[in-house]
Amino acid sequence: MYYGWYDEDMNEYNDLALVPGEGLWVYSPSTDFQIQSAGAVPSTSIAVALRGGNQAKLVVNPMPTTITLGDVKVDGYAKADGYADFEIQAKQLDGYGRGGTTYFWSDFEEEGDVYYGWYDEDMNDYNDVEVAAGDSLWIYSPSTDYSVVFPTPLAD
């Protein structure tokens, strides 16, 4: 009897350790199936390294609570002339795993306006968008020097 996770050659992967914050793409024949995970609530923030080369990486909110997109920060960049020197994109998929909204990480000031966090191409603020526990985002990054950081829900 087979029970658990297997690849197409029936190699077992039940002992595969999942990295907190890294997503897992799961296909299901029905919405009747649910996936549960367990573990300790992280006592520190979790940084997820990005791929670079503008390749997508599926990241997931590893915290057991809903956070806002504005809580998710980008780390590892430097600012030149008051502007962040990169373009990181986050794409939140719809409930069917396609489409969705694209957000851009911004960190600059222009004509007295400060843009820090996630915005669309028209500079509409999306920092209040909710990201539930276990929800995923595709993150595109130009460099492996960057990471996205999910805050711990525990008080410091």
Instruction: Map residue 70 onto helix, strand or coil.
Output: helix
Higher-confidence residue of 79 and 53: namely: 53
pLDDT value at 98 more than 80: no
When pLDDT is averaged across residues 45-65 and rounded to a whole number, the result is 89
C-alpha pair distances (Å), 29 with each of 33, 45, 54, 131: 8, 34, 31, 25
Cβ contacts of residue 27 below 8 Å, gap of 6+?
none
Global pTM reads 0.78
DSSP secondary structure code for residue 4 in this structure: S
Place 80 in a pLDDT band, splitting at 50, 70 and 90.
low
| Contact (CB, 8 A) for 126 and 120 | yes
Of 26, 23, 17, 19, the residue nearest 135 (C-alpha):
23
For residue 137, give the H/E element and its range. strand 136-141
Beta strands in 6-121 (DSSP E): 46-49, 55-60, 67-68, 73-75, 79-80, 83-84, 89-92, 101-110, 113-119
Place 79 in a pLDDT band, splitting at 50, 70 and 90.
low
Residue written as token pair 């367990």:
38
Question: What tokens does 96 get?
Answer: 């069917």
Query: Mean pLDDT for the chain?
Result: 82
